[in-house]
Amino acid sequence: MPLIKATHQQTKEHNRNLVLKNIFDREKISRAELSRITRLTRTTVSEIVTDLLDEGLVTEIGVGESIGGKSPILLSLAKDSRCLIGLDIAQNHVRGAVVNLRGEIKKTVTAPVVDRFGEKPLKQIFEILDQLMKSPCRPISGIGIGAPGLINTSEGIVINAVNFDWKDFPLAKILRERYQLPVYIYNDCQAAAMGEYLYGGYHQKGENLVVINVGYGIGSGIIINGKLFQGDDGGAGEIGHVVVVHKEAKPCRCGHYGCLESVASAQAILRDAKELLHFPDRPSLSELSEIAILDEIEKAYIAGHPAIRELILSSARYLGYAIASLVGTLNIHQIVLIGEMTRFGPAWLDVIRDTMLRASLSRLANSTSIEIGKLENNSTLLGAIALLVNNYSLLFMKNSARTML
């Protein structure tokens, strides 16, 4: 009967994914150990491993130590057996990369965002992807995208982009048709969380993680039980637009006043620091790029410029309060900060930690660690890949395009 057949197929896929996940999670592992960890019979594991070897996803890499009897053959992920394309649509640039299954970047293409309106950003995305598709890495199993704003991942729609004038824009469908590959799109901070989790090594420390991107905007991604938590509308972790200033609040790009982003983001620092910095013998700040101005602000901060230090450290206090709310809501021990503002280093981080400790229950706060992420500016890009890798069925040949262009 079809229903029973489907259930059998689902069980088979579930078991296959379970075995593949355990091979993914370790450098090497034997069939016997896989059987012990997954609680599948040795025969089932052997059959699945034979399929994985046939698919080229796994290789045998020699023999392990015997614990009585024959020495076991060790299996390892064939990291270059599939490639994935990751795309980070950031505030000021779009960056794409071809990446292998271990998150090693094979080729990158970056272009500044020149036009935020209409079809032009899309044309730019096509150009980047066209170049990446020419990479010799084969087969390419899918495209993962991280984009700022509200995203409907299941339908592949950008509901509301922050940097482009896209509204309910079916980006995944457009790219799927053009490249004939599976395409998934995620909120950039949510993708970044998955990137730090899988490729920043945090999955070895626990199953839960919060990653807060403190860049030109502010947002976070939440991993619960090893899976990205997106919330009912895909907006879980959107802490940047919670109002934190009530008196003399400044406008935020979302239309409200006094959001966390309006006081603690790099954009807010750029806005306020410009009034504090003067360079009599240098070109005016208005002639410099945002990143060059941030460099100047950082120099002044390191040199001990009192007003600049106060500006940066008071922005850290707002972040500390926001994190205290997360600690009270989620009680997740591991909190990771990424983004442009992490350049302000230990003093900035200490103020965030101290504020969090003072503003949440000591018992919860004391077991919470806040640190800077490990992937620098690759977390969103690798996160988009990590989310693809989590969808193991994508990696099987029958479901993925072997060659393109």
Closest CB to Zn ion among residues 254, 288: 254
Question: Do residues 289 and 282 lie in contact, with contact meaning Cβ atoms separated by under 8 Å?
Answer: no
Length of the chain: 405
Q: Would strands 149-152 and 157-161 be described as parallel, antiparallel, or unpaired? A: antiparallel
Closest CB to Zn ion among residues 98, 259: 259
Closest CB to Zn ion among residues 133, 189: 189
| Among residues 37, 111, 122, 254, the one that binds Zn ion under rule CB under 5 A | 254
Q: Sign (positive/negative) of CA torsion 303, 304, 307, 310?
A: positive
As measured in angstroms, the least distance from the Cβ of 216 to Zn ion is 13
Q: Which stretch binds Zn ion (CB under 5 A): 67-75, 169-177, 233-241, 332-340?
A: 233-241
| Among residues 16, 31, 241, 353, the one that binds Zn ion under rule CB under 5 A | 241
Closest CB to Zn ion among residues 79, 256: 256
Question: Do residues 110 and 127 lie in contact, with contact meaning Cβ atoms separated by under 8 Å?
Answer: no
Closest CB to Zn ion among residues 30, 267: 267
Q: Token match 């504020």: residue?
A: 355
As measured in angstroms, the least distance from the Cβ of 261 to Zn ion is 5
Of the candidates 190, 148, 138, the one whose C-alpha atom is nearest the C-alpha of residue 171 is 148
Q: What angle do CA 200, 204, 207 make, to 5 degrees?
A: 100
Site string (191-230) toward Zn ion, x via CB under 5 A? ----------------------------------------
As measured in angstroms, the least distance from the Cβ of 337 to Zn ion is 19
As measured in angstroms, the least distance from the Cβ of 252 to Zn ion is 3
| Among residues 132, 252, 322, 384, the one that binds Zn ion under rule CB under 5 A | 252
Question: What angle do the packed helices 379-389 and 188-199 form, to 10 degrees?
Answer: 80
**Ranges within 255-284 binding Zn ion (CB under 5 A):** 256, 259
Residue 398's CB: how many other CB atoms inside 10 A?
7
Residue 322 binds Zn ion (CB under 5 A): no
User: Applying CB under 5 A, what is the total number of residues that bind Zn ion?
Assistant: 5
Residues 188, 194, 196, 199, Cα dihedral to 10°: -120
Q: Which stretch binds Zn ion (CB under 5 A): 117-125, 238-246, 296-304, 346-354?
A: 238-246
As measured in angstroms, the least distance from the Cβ of 403 to Zn ion is 45
As measured in angstroms, the least distance from the Cβ of 391 to Zn ion is 32
Residue 369's CB: how many other CB atoms inside 10 A?
10
- The strand pairing partners of 95, in sequence order, are 88, 110
Copy the structure tokens of residue 214: 């403190």
As measured in angstroms, the least distance from the Cβ of 325 to Zn ion is 16
Q: What element of type H or E holds 295?
A: helix 290-302
Distances, alpha carbon 62 to alpha carbons 26, 65, 73, 195, in Å: 15, 10, 6, 30
As measured in angstroms, the least distance from the Cβ of 256 to Zn ion is 5
Residues that bind Zn ion (CB under 5 A): 241, 252, 254, 256, 259
